[in-house]
Amino acid sequence: MSETKVFLLPDLGEGLTEAELVNWLVAVGDEIRVDQPIAEVETAKSMVEVPSPYAGTVAVLHGEPGQTLDVGKPLISVTPIGSEVAEPVESKAPMVEPVETEPAASVAAETYRDEEKAGSGNVLIGYGTPGGHGIARRTRTRKQAAVGVVESGVAASTVTEAEKAADDLLLLRTRVPGKLGAVISPLVRRMARDHGVDLGGLQGSGASGLIMRKDVEAAIAPAPAVEPRRVVEPAETRRPRLEPRSAVESVETGAETDSRTGLGVTARTPLRGVRKAVAVNMTRSRSEIPEATVWVDVDATALVEMRAALKKTDPHNTPGLLAFIARFVTAGLKKYPALNTRIVTTEDAAGGESQEIVAFDGVNLGFAAQTDRGLMVPSVRNADKMSARELDAEIRRLTAVVREGNATPSELGSGTFTLNNYGVFGVDGSAAIINHPEVGILGVGRIIDKPWVVNGEVAVRKVTELTLTFDHRVCDGGAAGGFLRYVADAIENPGSVLTDM
């Protein structure tokens, strides 16, 4: 008799240690297939659907919606189809320990774990989940059928032992030979195998050459579509779907009184998810980084007029003002590279701490984006190699991705310097907190009409304020002031600067 398999919560990307269970997509007693989404979890960076690496019957759900789960702890227990299944067990029951499987399966599992540790660059390591393009698999419609009956009235078919073994072996490989990053799901790989499609010669339409289901379906057309196996969901164990919470969710407390102020407490808001991650990072930044701030008022009239002229000739492809400023920032970081570094602390041979400044060959420019889930800082990778128009397109794409909650860890955690446009909130300046472990952040205030002296006369000009907060450990005021002045001069004389870029 096959033993119950326990699926441990995987590392959802780049060192995250926990995730909050938002919603179960399956219930105890459901039959699931390989790569089927089983739960929605929220990390400090994004909302993710977790797919199952096993096919079978759900035996135990290890957690309740709203509970924070540690990476490496049991998420779900699955009993292979055909095995004797005990009565449905509530999630509070004792955990089912992972057991040893047959030698071939053990080798497969070990290979799978090795690949998981190595990382695939996707949100879920080794599962072929598309990364960072805002396309999430939707959950199937809940059916209200009785147990053991499908919509057509035909009994649900069972998976053979051979099919189960094939599903396990599919976990051995998650990459197409010779195609780095062309990660596909076991479900898609199996479809290709069943229809004789050579994945090595198939061009994927997804990110980084990701081979999608539609790519395989196109390769096997015009073969008739195979009717997917319907899966019955027990009505009595089905859990209602919970809508994802906003970043701030208050819990009413009743007639509680605060002992310090004597005032009634109206609500308590748990610090979790994105808000918790922001709090931890900002606290670390302020406690570790000896920051200093410099600022300057800038006449942005020439930049505003230049963009207006470009918009008249090409209204649909003219970059926004932020994209032009981003281009000036990347050029300034090339000129003052100390602000595009990172301080790394290591343990020396004597057991003490040693620090070094790490410089980078290129700029990953982060920018602050306000979302319903809180403040996010996606980064434009290799921004120093992009034109203003390319930067504009990437900034717009990443803004949409983070607001949908589909940004990948690499899109959120790879910045080397941050640009913060707080002018959209109608403010002029801010003593910003550096996005640890970076060493600098440049803020841009609102652009408003102000009196300005031009050629000895007072005129009304478009003025903004630039504020640079920097880590005083990596550079002194000379470099910080030089960088700030370079960006300011570029905004005031954009034509002359752009000709040299």
Complete DSSP assignment for 358-388: EE-SS--EEE-EEETTEEE--EETTGGG--H
CA dihedral for 116, 120, 126, 129, sign (positive or negative): positive
Rounded to whole angstroms, the Cα distance separating 139 from 142 reads 9
Structure tokens at 250: 């208050």
Q: Is 277 helix (H, G, I), strand (E, B) or coil?
A: helix
pLDDT tier at 251 (50, 70, 90 boundaries)?
low
Q: How confident is the model at residue 235 (pLDDT cuts 50, 70, 90)?
A: very low
Residue 147: band (very low, low, confident or very high) from pLDDT cuts 50, 70, 90: very low
Give pLDDT, residue 94: 47
- pLDDT at residue 146 is higher than 60: no
How far CA 229 is from CA of 210, 223, 226, 309, 384, in Å, comes to 25, 18, 9, 59, 50
Q: How confident is the model at residue 107 (pLDDT cuts 50, 70, 90)?
A: very low
Lowest mean pLDDT among 105-119, 243-257, 450-464: 105-119
Q: What is the mean pLDDT of residues 252-261?
A: 81
Average pLDDT over residues 410-434: 91
Q: Which of 178-182, 409-413, 445-449 has the lowest mean pLDDT?
A: 178-182
Instruction: Check pLDDT > 80 for residue 309.
Output: yes
Q: Is 465 helix (H, G, I), strand (E, B) or coil?
A: strand
Residue 249: predicted pLDDT: 55
Per-residue confidence band for 266, with pLDDT thresholds at 50, 70 and 90: very high
| Average model confidence (pLDDT) across the chain | 76
Residue 139: pLDDT band by 50, 70, 90 thresholds? very low
Considering only residues 142 and 55, tell me which one the structure prediction assigns the higher pLDDT. 55
The Cα–Cα gap between 122 and 37 comes to 16
Split at pLDDT 50, 70, 90, the class of 227 is very low
Q: Answer yes or no: is pLDDT of 4 > 80.
A: yes
Q: How far apart are CA 261 and CA 264, in angstroms?
A: 9
290-316 residues labelled b (16+ CB within 10 A) or e (exposed): ebeeebeebbbbbbbebbeebeeeeee
Taking the C-alpha atoms of residue 168 and residue 189, their distance in angstroms, rounded to an integer, is: 12
Packed helices 186-194 and 161-170: angle between N→C axes, nearest 10 degrees: 120
Give the pLDDT score at 2.
Answer: 64
Give me the active site residues, please: 472
Mean pLDDT (whole number) for 149-176:
45
Residue in the block written with tokens 């993710």? 48
Residue 252 is predicted with a pLDDT of 60
For residues 354-371, average pLDDT: 93
Question: What is the average per-residue pLDDT within 117-138?
Answer: 38
Within 307-456, strands assigned E span 341-347, 353-359, 365-367, 369-371, 374-376, 379-380, 417-420, 440-444, 448-454
Q: Which of 157-166, 224-233, 447-456 has the lowest mean pLDDT?
A: 224-233
Q: pLDDT by residue (tens digit) across 479-500?
A: 999 999 999 999 999 987 776 7
Give yes or no for residue 207 having a pLDDT over 80: no
- State the average pLDDT over residues 40-69: 84
Residue 148 confidence (pLDDT): 42
Place of tokens 């109608």: 426
- Give the confidence band of 466 by pLDDT, cuts at 50, 70, 90: very high
* Nearest in space to 216 (alpha carbons), one of 206, 230, 227: 206
* Highest mean pLDDT (candidates 73-82, 161-170, 171-180): 73-82
> In b/e form, how buried is each residue of 58-72, taking b as 16+ CB within 10 angstroms?
bbbbbbebeeebebe
Confidence band (pLDDT; 50, 70, 90) for 12? low
Q: What is the mean pLDDT of residues 83-97?
A: 49
Cβ neighbours of 421 (radius 10 Å): 20
Greater confidence (404 vs 15) lies with 404
Q: Which two tokens stand for residue 402?
A: 């983070």
Question: Looking at residue 408, what is its pLDDT?
Answer: 80
Return the structure tokens found at 253.
């407390």
pLDDT-above-70 percentage for the chain = 67
In percent, the amount of the chain with pLDDT more than 90 equals: 41
Sequence-distant (6+) residues with CB within 8 A of 16 are 43, 44, 45, 71, 409
Whether the per-residue pLDDT at 310 is higher than 90: the answer is yes
Give the mean pLDDT of 327-340.
97
What average pLDDT does this structure show over 270-297? 89
